[in-house]
Structure 1
Amino acid sequence: MRLRSDFWVSAHLRRLGVEGIPAVLRRRGSPEAGAIFVKVDRLDGTADLYGPAPQALFEAEDSGDRRFTALITGGTPLDVEEWLTKEIRFDTDLWVIEIDDRAARHFLDLAE
């Protein structure tokens, strides 16, 4: 069973804070099941965007953990913002976390 989106986001923001990584909740989505997207601004003019991984990539594990996939790597912050704007038009219930970290740390479980 998967955690509600609001609990997962709260826990992830807390973990980032404990690690000393600045992060903010930019957009609040559906508390129960809103998709979660994470923007990582590397503070050097580049940014990454992570979003929910397709279930087919990790369905067999059935651990209930949220898995993510890289949607944009090494793009500009404007590239990421344009992508998010389009996604929000499609899905108004999504969440957006923004992290500022030169080392691009995000602590997300990535699907392989």
Structure 2
Amino acid sequence: MRLKAGIFVSAIVRRVFADGGMAAIERRGAEEAGAIFVRIRHRDGSESLAAPAPQTAFDSDHPDDRLFEFRKTRVPETEVSETIAREYRYDPDIWVLEIETDTPETYLDFSQD
């Protein structure tokens, strides 16, 4: 069974803070199963955006894992904001989590595709 979105997001926030970093929930989505987008702020002022990976990226042995893919990588903040706004218009139940890190793979599992 897949972990609820709200619990997953809370766990990431706690892990980032425990490592001395900064994390914030920018937008709360559906508690049970809202899609989670992660805005990653880098020290150089750029941002990346991690989004849910497509279903084809999931391992049949672990269908309940949460996998992410990069939609934007080290781009200006406005590009990430525009992408999130488009996603919100499509699905208003999304979560947007913001973290400051140069190593997002420490906190998120990324698809290998």
TM-score by length of 2: 0.91
CA distance in 1, matches of 2:23, 2:75: 19
Question: Where do 1:1-112 residues align within 5 Å?
Answer: 1-101=1-101, 104-106=102-104, 107-112=107-112
> SS in structure 2 opposite 1:13?
helix
Displacement, 1:30? 0.1
Displacement, 1:62? 2.0
Structure 2: runs of 5 or more not aligned: none
State the aligned residue count.
110
Displacement, 1:21? 1.2
Deviation string 1:65-94 (CA, Å, 9 cap, x unpaired) is 211000100111110001001111111000
Displacement, 1:99? 1.1
CA distance in 1, matches of 2:79, 2:61: 32
CA distance in 2, matches of 1:50, 1:33: 17
Question: Any runs of at least 4 consecutive aligned residues in structure 1 with deviations exceeding 4 A, and if so which?
Answer: none
One-letter amino acid matched to 1:33: A
Question: What is the identity percentage for the equivalent residue pairs of Structure 1 and Structure 2?
Answer: 40
CA distance in 2, matches of 1:53, 1:63: 12
One-letter amino acid matched to 1:16: V
